[in-house]
Amino acid sequence: MSRSQASAPVSAVAAAAAAAPRLSTPVSIVIAVLVTLLALALYSPPVASLVIGLLFNIVGAVAIVLYTIKRVRWLRIRVLRLLLSHTGWAYNPSALTSQILLGLVGLFGGNKPRLWELQSTLPALPVPPLHQTVDKYLKSVRPLLNDQEYATTKKLADDFIRIGGDGERLQNMLLAHRDAEVAKGTSWLWTWWEQIVYLSGRDPLPIYSNWYGLDRIDPVLTSQVGRAANAIVALLKFKRMIDTQSLAPNRVQETVPLCMHQYSRIFGTVRIPEDPVDRLVVHSKSKHIVVMCNNAIYRVDVFHDEGHGVAQLSAHELRVQLGRIIDLQTQSSSVPSDSSEPVAILTSQNRSVWAKQRQELIAMDKINKESIEVIESALFVVVLDTNEPAPETVEELSYEGLHHHGRGYWFDKNLNIIFFKNGRHSMNVDHTWSDASVMVHVMDFVYSVESTADHWTPDVTDVADNALAPPTRLHWHLTPLMRATIAEAHSDYMKTVVPMIDLEVLKFQVFGKDVIKKIGVSPDAFVQMAIQLAFFRMHNEPCLTYESAATVRFNHGRTETVRSCSIESKRFVDAMQASGVSSEKKLELLRAACKSHVKFMRAATNGDGIDRHLLGLRILARGAGIDSPFLADKAMSLPFRLSTSQTPALRMLGGGFAPLVANGYGCSYIVDDFRIWAHLSCFAANPETDVKKFSQLLRSSLLDIYEVCRSDPNLEKLLSTRTYRMLRSQ
C-alpha cells in the first residue's frame, strides 16, 4: 500500500513548475513592441499613429471581453475550465504562452475565491498514452535488471503495446472507464484508489496504513490541558472556515487552483471495518469530540446549546472540561469494570477480525452500540496521556505517534491527537481519507493560531464554568468472552506491533535548501540522490524507490509515484563509489540525475506518471480475465524497498510511516533553509535492514555529495574551508 506523506498542499506541483527553464517572457515582447513603435514614430509618423490607434482599439476590445468574462460567473467558470485543460504550462511555466495562460487564470480566478468556487474548473485526471507509459516504465526498471532480464521485459512490453494486443484492448477499456467516471464528476482513479488500495486491505491500520505526525518545533505552552484546549479551538476554527467556505482554495503561485475535495473529510470521518471491504463514512455535522484517558472514553460537546450566544466552546471552557476528565480518572474506582476495559485496542487488529468483533459488540448491548456511534461520529479523538515520564525526544514522540505503546488510539478515526503531561503532542492519522499534505496544512494552521494570545483567556460572553454540562463517559457491557478477546488483542499488540518497527530521526543541521539551491539543483532531488547513495552503500545494489507526488491539479486527484532510482541516478551513485572519477564529473552526473528527477516529478504531478496508469490496466485485466505476460512479468513485481516522501511542514517536527515491504525503509524528510530532518523506519526483525546504520550512511552521503559540490567555484565562495570543516565535525 502506498503512502503519501508528501507535500504541503501546493508544494509538489509548485516545485515542479518552478523548475522549468526560462525561454521567453512577456517583458521581452513588450520591449520589442515599444522599440518597433519608437522606430515607426521616428521614420514614419503617420504609420505610427495608425498602428498606435489600432493597438488602442484592440486593447479596448480585449478589456471589454475580459471584464465581461470576469463578471459573468457561468462564463468565467467555463473559460477557466478551458484554460486549465491545457496542461503544457506545467512543463514550461516561463514560456510566453504559459505566462499568458497563467495570467488569465489568475485574473478569472479572482483575488479571494471561496473554498469550493474553483472546484468545478479543475481538469479531469488524464490517462497517458500507452506507448509513453510503457517507454517510461522500461527506463525506470533498466537500472534494476541485468541484460537478460531487461531483454525479456522489453520483448513482453513490445508484445503488450502492439496493435491488437492486450495493451491496446486494456487502454481502450481504461479510456471508457475514464469517460464514465468523469461524467459522474470524479476521476478514473478515485474510487479504485480508495477501495482497492485502502479499504480492501485486511492488514491492521497501525504500522500498515496509518501514519504519525509530531508536535511543533517550539511549543508555547507546557500545560497538557492548556495545549489540548488550544488545539481543539484551532481545529474547530479550521472546521468553521470549511463550513462557511471562507478557507481559500490552495493555488499554485496564487493562480492555478488545486483540488480541495479531501478537505471535506477532515472532520468526522471514520473507516468502518467490514468484510471484505471497509466503508468510509463522514459525519461532518457532528458537534462533539471524543476524549480518551487511561482507557476511559468521554464524549465532549464542543458547541453550546442554542441560546447561550457563543456557538463554540472557548479555550477556557475546554480546559475546564479536559481537567474534569483527568480529575474523574483519579476517582475511577467507582466506575464499572467494563468501562475501564481498553476496548479501543480492538481497532488495531486485522480488519475482518475487528469487523466481526464490532458487530458482536453492537449486538451484545445497546449501550455498546451507542458508545460506538458516539466515537465513530466524533469530529476527532483527543488522547490525554497521564503517564510519566512524558516523552521528550523526537524519537520518543515518534514511537508514541506510531503506536502509543498500546495505551489507546481508536485507529479507525480520521485523527487521534495525543497530549502528554509535559504539554508535547503527537498524532496518529488514518491515510484512507486523505494524503498527508492536508493534515500538515491543518496543523500548520493550528500552530499559527496557538502562537496568538486572543483565545487563551475566557471570552467575555463565556458561560460560567458550572453551567457546562460535564463530559459524558461512554460505557460498555461486555461478556466474559469479549473481555478475554480484548485482553488477547492487547497482549498481541504489545508483543507484535509495539516492537515491530525501529525508528531513527536524522537531524542534519549542516546545511539545507538555501545552500542546495546555490548548487543549481532541486533540494528534493538532492536529498533523493543522497538516499540512493546511502542505500547502495548499505546494500551494494540499487532498488526501486517510491516518492509520492501530488496530482491535486486535477479533480479528485491524490498521488502518483516518482521512481527516484533512474538510469541517471545509478550513473551518479556508481561514480561516487568509483575511484579515479573527478569531482567535476561527479557534479556533472549529480546535476544530470537531479534534472532527470525533476522531469519525472513534473510529469507525475501533471498526470503523466507510470504507476497509476499501470495500476488501472492491471485492475481492468484482472476484472476481464486477461492474463497479460507483461503485467505478470518479474519486473512488474519488484518491491519498493525505499518508500519516501518530502514533508514541507512549516512548523512541525515532521512525521513518518512504516516501510512498504519487509526488507525496506520508510523515509519521510523535511528540507528547510538550514536543516534536513529525516524520519527513518525499518522492520526490527528483518536481518537485512538496520535503520541506525542507514541513518549514519544518509548523513555521510549528504556530506560527501556536498564535498563534491564544493568543486564548483561558486559554492566554494559560499562557505570557507574553515567553516565547512567546523560544520562537518558536528
Please give the positions annotated as active site: 431
For residue 276, cis peptide bond before it (omega within 30 degrees of 0): yes
Q: Which residues contact 717 (CB under 8 A, 6 or more apart)?
A: none
Q: What is the DSSP letter of 211?
A: E
Compute how many other C-beta atoms are within 10 angstroms of the C-beta atom of residue 633.
18
Q: If residue 137 lies in a helix (H) or strand (E), which one and from where to where?
A: helix 130-141
Q: What angle is formed at CA 658 by the lines to CA 653 and CA 659, rounded to 5 degrees?
A: 125
Q: Which CA distances in Å does 554 have to 63, 100, 183, 259, 610? A: 30, 21, 15, 6, 16
Q: Which residues contact 48 (CB under 8 A, 6 or more apart)?
A: 37, 40, 41
Give me the torsion for CA of 572, 576, 580, 582, rounded to 10°: 70
Q: Where are the alpha helices (DSSP H) in 144-256?
A: 147-161, 166-183, 190-192, 205-208, 224-243
Q: Which of 104, 121, 102, 109 is nearest to 18 (CA)?
A: 102
Compute how many other C-beta atoms are within 10 angstroms of the C-beta atom of residue 512.
18
How far apart are the C-alpha atoms of 146 and 161, rounded to whole Å? 22
**Cβ(160)–Cβ(626) under 8 Å?**
no
Compute how many other C-beta atoms are within 10 angstroms of the C-beta atom of residue 547.
30
DSSP of 349-360, one letter per residue? Answer: S-HHHHHHHHHH
How far apart are the C-alpha atoms of 696 and 535, rounded to whole Å? 11
Q: Which of 579, 386, 362 is nearest to 482 (CA)?
A: 362
Q: What angle is formed at CA 297 by the lines to CA 325 and CA 337, rounded to 5 degrees?
A: 100
How far apart are the C-alpha atoms of 430 and 439, rounded to whole Å? 10
690 beta partners? none
